Amino acid sequence: MTQTDLLCGQIEAETDLLPGIIAGKIAGEPADLGAMPYEQIEPLAAYLEHRAEQVYSGNKTFRARLNVRGNAGRDYLYMFMRHWAAAWIQKNLGMTAYRALPDGFNLGRDPHGAR
């Protein structure tokens, strides 16, 4: 384990991705859409970052999908974080909050359309 590994997670150490930043952005989307209170952004972001690190460390296919050139790895992480966020919202905030998410959010689709 290197000193870099101690300061950041495995994803950040092995890729150009910053999962903490991405988790914060994804966690803010449901709040901006009115599906959850803004007070839930921080716990959701922490969950998303932890979940990404957990899956990355234990899933060879997920690791390979994030370790690609260009934006494909980033887009893949965004997709999965949206999917995990929807599940977290359903579990922690209930079906009313989950149903307030836009169509396809639970499938990882960008609620603002392709950019």
Q: pLDDT tens, 59-111?
A: 999 999 999 999 999 999 999 999 999 999 999 999 999 999 999 999 999 99
What gap in Å lies between CA 28 and CA 56, rounded to an integer?
22
pTM: 0.90
